[in-house]
A and B are shown apart, each in its own frame.
Chain A
Amino acid sequence: MIWMLIGAIAAGIGVGYVALPPEAGGLIGELTLWALNFLILMIGIEVGQNLSVFKEIRKHGTMLVAIPLGIIAGSALGGFVSSLMFGQPASTGLAIAAGYGWYSLSGILLTTLDSAQTGAVAFMTNIFRELMTIISVPFLAKYLNHYSAIAPAGATAMDSTLPVISRYTDPEAAIMAFFSGVVLSALVPVLVPFFYGL
């Protein structure tokens, strides 16, 4: 799947570079916006279908809520520090950080909200974040604790990194990871525009 997505970008870059006049930018922006709204609608439907995960809260207690909140706070802090290092506006840094590993959506959102350049950084940031998660989960689960192993995964904990988390932790941590992933995925389309607008 990841190669198909990278392939789609690469094909776009090729066509944009070779075949399109610079004036095409406006039209592409308009088309992107409508396609994005359609995608968000589909994502919303999926989130709506999964609302029942909130019933798990009572069973698993405070940590279930603390994990996604901690990831939001930690990512914001990391994004803020990074934006200082590169002399970027803090709002942009927070918005990039609020992708929580969901590279396709955060890249698309920031391309639409800001620029192709910020979108490209967000896309790569969140691909790296997913890769770092896959590499670090076994170590975090072993040397810190199972909760910490969920932290780098962010939104990806409900799908692409769930297998690695569930393999190196236990079934209870896997349920918490899934819950945290659903919550963060639902928040990406809300928080990226929110932080960007600050």
Chain B
Amino acid sequence: MWRILVFLAVGVTIGAVVKFGERQKKWVGRLQQIGVVLLLFSMGLSIGLNEEILGNLRSLGMQAFTYAALTSVFSILVVYGLSRVLVREVRHK
């Protein structure tokens, strides 16, 4: 877990200090894409090795749907509430 944060911090520092041209930026994007595809493939491998997941796919999908719906709805409500409070406040000034 700490390794993730270290790699992130090193990356942000490199990105902030080194000026990248359009070409290098494209390469960063491409390397990211390759990384994501490889990782998802290996995530698939772990899923394929685990028969429990394959058997429960429907109930896991329902869980995921609930998580997606509730995180979206609560995000909308909180941001809407904040905008009502903060934007009105700005107008009073």
Contact = CB atoms under 8 A, between A and B. Distances in A.
Interface of A: 4-5, 8-18, 20, 22, 24-25, 28-29, 31-33, 35-51, 61-63, 66-67, 69-71, 73-75, 77-79, 81-82, 85-86, 93, 96-97, 104-105, 107-109, 111, 113, 116-117, 119-129, 132-133, 136, 140, 144-145, 147-148, 150-152, 154, 186, 189-190, 193, 196-197
Interface of B: 1, 3-5, 7-17, 20, 25, 28-29, 31-32, 35-54, 56, 60-61, 63-83, 86-87, 90
A15 B67 contact: no
9 contacts: A18-B48, A42-B31, A44-B7, A48-B15, A75-B74, A77-B74, A78-B73, A116-B49, A132-B72
Contacts, number: 305
Contacts of B51: 17
Contacts of B5: 189-190, 193
B64 A121 contact: yes
A4 B37 contact: yes
Nearest to A47: B12
A71 B40 CA distance: 26
Given A44-B7, A116-B43, A126-B68, 10 more contacts: A14-B44, A14-B48, A44-B10, A70-B82, A74-B75, A75-B74, A82-B67, A128-B64, A129-B68, A129-B71
A151 B78 contact: yes
User: Interface of chain B, helix or strand or loop or mixed?
Assistant: helix
- Interface SS of chain A: helix
